[in-house]
Amino acid sequence: MRRSGWRELQQIDIAPSPIRDKEAWLAITNTGVSEYRAFDVSTERSWGQRFTSHWLTRSAVTSIIARRSIRSNIQPQVFEAAPTDWMHPSFRWMGDVSILQQITSGIMVETHSGFPFSVQDQYLQILGHRNGRRFPLYFSMGLSLEREFPLTKKYRVGVRVSGFDLTNHFNPTFVDSNLDSPDFLAFGNSARRSGNIRLRLIRR
């Protein structure tokens, strides 16, 4: 999979050179460009009529946005806004099992390396190696049970109970990457263990 974008919104500093070190005048422009590439490998295997499993391996994700340095409007720089090539290997496994020919059980396990991010200062300048740090390892496991009940001569109703992130693993989606912040490298915004109940109408 590949996607190329242009004329995307971005912020640039338009402050005059004599005062650029003290002030930043930000303007919204549509001069940004981005690139996305991914490579997935998947396979499916069935053992009889009771067990089916699926594997999905994501080999690469990249998204780069070109924007100017917050302090330099004269020399444009390219800053990576997301992982670079081949830096996000992941693995996902899904399986379906029929229990007593009445209940269908589904399980899903997914894990991948943490997304990389860059350390910045209060002026949004990248410090050290670009994308030099990563989020913690991501891991999630879900389980569902579904049973069908007769409703009428033409329809059945399926009742599914699902649980998500059963291990309650800490999977943050936010990090304070500002070196000048008192909460530097504080991770947060992780989803907790949850569940739901779904009803669906099935025609015979």
Domain that holds residue 93: 2-203
Q: Residue 80: its pLDDT value, please?
A: 47
Q: How many domains does the chain have?
A: 1
The model's confidence at residue 183, banded by pLDDT at 50, 70 and 90, is very high
Mean pLDDT of 51-61: 62
Mean pLDDT of 172-176: 93
125's CB contacts (< 8 A; 6+ apart) are 69, 70, 71
Q: What is the pTM of this model?
A: 0.65
176's CB contacts (< 8 A; 6+ apart) are 183, 184, 185, 186
Q: Residue 27: its pLDDT value, please?
A: 83
181's CB contacts (< 8 A; 6+ apart) are none
Q: Interior CA angle at 193 toward 192 and 194, to 5°?
A: 110
Give the least confident one: 78-87, 103-112, 113-122, 145-154.
Answer: 78-87
